[in-house]
């Protein structure tokens, strides 16, 4: 016969506490705040937020330039703790799709609407004027547009100065090669889906070449690196003495460098590369390739800087601060860490005596 002891109510509470302590703690984790969001056309108004809400109306099409602007603007908005609504018109929608998005973003409560301009259609002008007259500031990004109301702009500075620096750097490389620069250079020009600055970049390169007595051969290509490479191969067959190849876009520059590398790989060691490549680049991965070596010199027309400046200027407008009518973003000349070699060989490690002779130091006497 067993004797049951009286149960102490405090014992049950202690056991329950110890059991709960043994269980893994999994408190609910709140979702991270939304700093920047992409919203497809027609998905509804902006959600309410205590933060500043900016709108970005992109042009039609999935071109490289506007995609880079979009990515960098989203990054900058997150860094600045503001909400960014990014909307792009449907490629198969009406021609006034961007103008409609400008009106929609203002109607849905954006403090400022940023418009990445790729054309100056009447519908877009009317939308910008209507939105501004209703009290929502508009910031024009990457283009010039004639409106009745006063708009603020973020744009790159003139390409002329940077193009002169680019041509000077390439000619220095060619002379150090040495390569003859008497033959006309080839200028690869994208003819499909140009951006707002395509014509200005071409004009700057032509003017800079003309100033040094060189008249370029214009070679059009469509809109890919492969198109540029094929066009260059055909042009070099007709102009084999060409030693300078340039382009106004990433696709042309990268395609030309690919042709140069393929042709160089077939050359005997210590023989000359047939030509140098330079021009306008702006995507981070392509600019990184320059810094690792390759190309002669390129001009970064700084789309990332334009996107950052657009977001920061829009924030200032939203806070009713004074901002200049035009915020100019400078271009940047980018060169390899050591002068580009025109010889098909592997360069030895740099000694402590200093950099090898080339663009930054006078060449040694033979």
Look up residue 100 and give its two tokens.
């409609």
Query: Could you tell me which residues come within 8 angstroms of residue 103 by beta carbon, excluding any fewer than 6 positions away?
Result: 127, 130, 131
Sheet holding 217-221, edge to edge: 217-221, 186-190, 244-247, 276-281, 297-300, 332-334
Confidence band (pLDDT; 50, 70, 90) for 295?
A: confident
Instruction: Look at phi and psi of residue 212 and say left if phi exceeds 0, alpha if psi is from -120 to 50, else beta.
Output: alpha
CB 85 within 8 A of CB 108: yes
Render pLDDT for 234-283 as a digit per residue (tens, 0 to 9): 999 999 999 999 999 999 999 999 998 888 777 665 555 678 999 999 88
Q: Which pLDDT does position 271 carry in this prediction?
A: 52
Confidence band (pLDDT; 50, 70, 90) for 1?
A: very low
Confidence band (pLDDT; 50, 70, 90) for 312?
A: very high
b/e 34-52 (16+ beta carbons within 10 angstroms → b)? ebbeebeeeeeebeeeeeb
Q: Which pLDDT does position 364 carry in this prediction?
A: 38
Q: Which pLDDT does position 363 carry in this prediction?
A: 39
Render pLDDT for 322-356 as a digit per residue (tens, 0 to 9): 999 999 999 999 988 765 554 443 333 333 334 33
Q: What is the mean pLDDT of residues 161-179?
A: 90
Q: Which pLDDT does position 246 carry in this prediction?
A: 97
CA atoms 307, 203, 251, 88: torsion sign: positive
Torsion of Cα atoms, 49 then 55 then 60 then 64, to 10°:
-100
Give a three-class secondary structure readout of the chain. CCCCCCCCHHHHHHHHHHHHHHCCCCCCCCCCCCCCEECCCCCCCCCCCCCCEEEEECCCCCCHHHHHHHHHHHHHHHHHCCEEEEECCCCCCCCCHHHHHHHHHHHCCCCEEEEECCCCCHHHHHHHHHHHHCCCCEEEECCCCCCCCCCEEEEECCHHHHHHHHHHHHHHHHHHCCCCCCCCCEEEEECCCCCCCHHHHHHHHHHHHHHCCCCCEEEEECCCHHHHHHHHHHHHHHCCCCCEEEECCHHHHHHHHHHHHHHHHCCCCCCECCCEEEEEECCHHHHHHHHCCCCCEEEECCHHHHHHHHHHHHHHHHCCCCCCCEEEECCEEECCCCCCCCECCCCCCCCCCCCCCCCCCCCCCC
**Percent share of the chain, pLDDT over 70:** 76
* pLDDT higher at 40 or 149: 149
């Amino acid at each position: 016969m067993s004797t049951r002891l009286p149960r102490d109510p405090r014992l049950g509470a202690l056991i329950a506490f110890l059991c709960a302590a043994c269980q893994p703690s999994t408190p609910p984790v709140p979702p991270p705040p939304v700093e920047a969001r992409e919203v497809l056309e027609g998905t509804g108004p902006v959600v309410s937020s205590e933060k500043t809400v900016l709108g970005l109306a992109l042009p039609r099409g999935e071109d490289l330039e506007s995609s880079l602007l979009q990515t960098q603007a989203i990054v900058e908005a997150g860094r600045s703790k503001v909400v960014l609504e990014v909307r792009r018109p449907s490629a198969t929608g009406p021609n006034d799709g961007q103008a409609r998005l400008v009106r929609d973003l203002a109607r849905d409560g954006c403090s400022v609407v940023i418009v990445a301009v790729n054309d100056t259609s009447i519908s877009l002008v009317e939308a910008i004027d209507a939105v501004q007259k209703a009290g929502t500031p508009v910031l024009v990004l990457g283009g010039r547009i004639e409106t009745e109301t006063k708009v603020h702009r973020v744009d790159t500075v003139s390409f002329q100065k940077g193009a002169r620096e680019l041509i000077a750097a390439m000619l220095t490389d060619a002379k150090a090669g040495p390569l003859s620069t008497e033959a006309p250079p080839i200028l690869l020009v994208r003819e499909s889906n140009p951006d707002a600055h395509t014509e200005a970049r071409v004009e700057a390169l032509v003017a800079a070449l003309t100033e040094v007595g060189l008249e370029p051969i214009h070679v059009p290509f469509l809109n890919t690196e492969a198109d540029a490479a094929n066009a260059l191969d055909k042009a070099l067959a007709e102009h084999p003495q060409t030693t300078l190849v340039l382009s106004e876009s990433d696709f042309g520059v990268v395609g030309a460098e690919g042709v140069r590398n393929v042709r160089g790989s077939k050359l005997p060691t210590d023989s000359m590369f047939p030509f140098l490549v330079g021009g306008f680049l702006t995507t981070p991965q392509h600019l990184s390739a320059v810094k690792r070596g390759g190309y002669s010199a390129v001009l970064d027309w700084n789309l990332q800087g334009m996107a950052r400046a657009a977001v920061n200027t829009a924030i200032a407008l939203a806070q009713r601060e004074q901002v200049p009518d035009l915020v100019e973003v400078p271009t940047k000349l980018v060169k390899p860490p050591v002068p580009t070699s025109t010889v098909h060989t592997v360069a030895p490690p740099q000694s402590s005596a200093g950099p090898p002779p080339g663009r930054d130091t006078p060449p040694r006497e033979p």
